[in-house]
Amino acid sequence: MITVIIPTRNEAVNLERLLARLGRSSVEHEIIVVDASDDDSTKQIAEAAGIACLSSAPGRGEQLAAGARESRGDVLFFLHADTAFEDDPLAAIESRLKNDHDLAGGNFALLFDGDRPFDRFTESLCRAVRVLGVYYGDSGIFVRKEVYDRLGGIKPLPIMEDYDFVRRLERHHRTCYITDMQLTTSSRKFQGRSPLAIIFHWIKMHFLYALGSSPERLKRAYYGDT
């Protein structure tokens, strides 16, 4: 069984759409929503769909870790609420892992829903750095539960929790990159920012991480409180 773990914060509209898409899958799965919203609307959407909804303090790392602790599946699929797809990602995951028992996990090719040239550039960049074993949570990270546990799981970091986990996963295990279907994510993170500012910010965060900066320092740098 695949456990789909969805961290949310004020994502009622996006969550409703995502749950409808996941509901079309014929693959055995459970869904766990881990919510850190300012109100109850997201929780109400989950509960109305019969989905387990955990409450959490804000922080995607803590939310993902909390969902994993409550999971019953032998595969974990971490999925952002603003994700869209045409085909069935659960079927793609099940097929890859059943046909290759040495695969520990992987992720999907990623598209952005914006129409700026920078969106297309970022898609190309994601494909390029995947060769180096670099990818992020918005590309739908999945992993066998036994591997997740053996690696120590996702750390409750305030930022870069996905990069931290992927580095450990790629260092010790073989993964796959699913390109015959794509996940589409929102370009809202790019809105109101110039391409140069976005690239500089990305480089700065990875530089600080490589220096061993504390989680608090990374959080301040990411949210601009420096």
Strand partners, 4: 31, 77
Q: What is the mean pLDDT of residues 164-179?
A: 97
Give me 149's structure tokens: 């546990």
Span 83-101, pLDDT tens digits = 999 999 999 999 999 999 9
Dihedral, 142, 145, 146, 151 alpha carbons, nearest 10: 60
Q: Which residue has the higher pLDDT, 77 or 47?
A: 77
Q: Directed axis angle between helix 12-22 and helix 41-48, to 10°?
A: 20
Tokens of 214: 């504390």
Q: What residues are paired with 112 via a beta bridge?
A: 185
Q: Distance between CA 65 and CA 83 in Å, rounded?
A: 20
Region 57-83 average pLDDT: 96
User: Average of pLDDT values for 210-222?
Assistant: 86
pLDDT at 113: 93
pLDDT > 90 fraction of the chain, expressed in percent and rounded: 73
Residue 184 confidence (pLDDT):
98
Q: Which residue has the higher pLDDT, 77 or 10?
A: 77
* CA pair distance 48, 188, nearest whole angstrom: 27
Token pair of 105 as six digits = 């996990």
Residue 38 pLDDT greater than 60, yes or no:
yes
Per-residue 3-state assignment (H helix, E strand, C coil) for the chain: CEEEEEEECCCHHHHHHHHHHHCCCCCCEEEEEEECCCCCHHHHHHHHCCCEEEECCCCHHHHHHHHHHCCCCCEEEECCCCCECCCCHHHHHHHHHHHCCCEEEEEEEEEECCCCHHHHHHHHHHHHHHCCCCCCHHHCEEEEHHHHHHCCCCCCCCCCHHHHHHHHHHHHCEEEEEEEEEEEECCHHHCCCCHHHHHHHHHHHHHHHHCCCCHHHHHHHHHCCC
pLDDT in tens, 191-201: 778 888 888 88
pLDDT band at 146 (very low <50, low <70, confident <90, very high): very high
Q: How many residues does the chain have?
A: 226
Banded model confidence at residue 120, pLDDT cuts 50, 70, 90: very high
Backbone angles phi, psi at 2, to 5 degrees: -100, 130
The tokens for 125 are 């960049």
Confidence check: pLDDT of 63 > 80: yes
Phi (first) and psi of residue 193, to 5 degrees: -130, 140
Report the pLDDT value the prediction gives residue 45, as an integer from 0 to 100: 93
Structure confidence at residue 225 as a pLDDT band (50, 70, 90):
low
Q: What is the pLDDT of residue 226?
A: 42
The whole-model pTM stands at 0.93
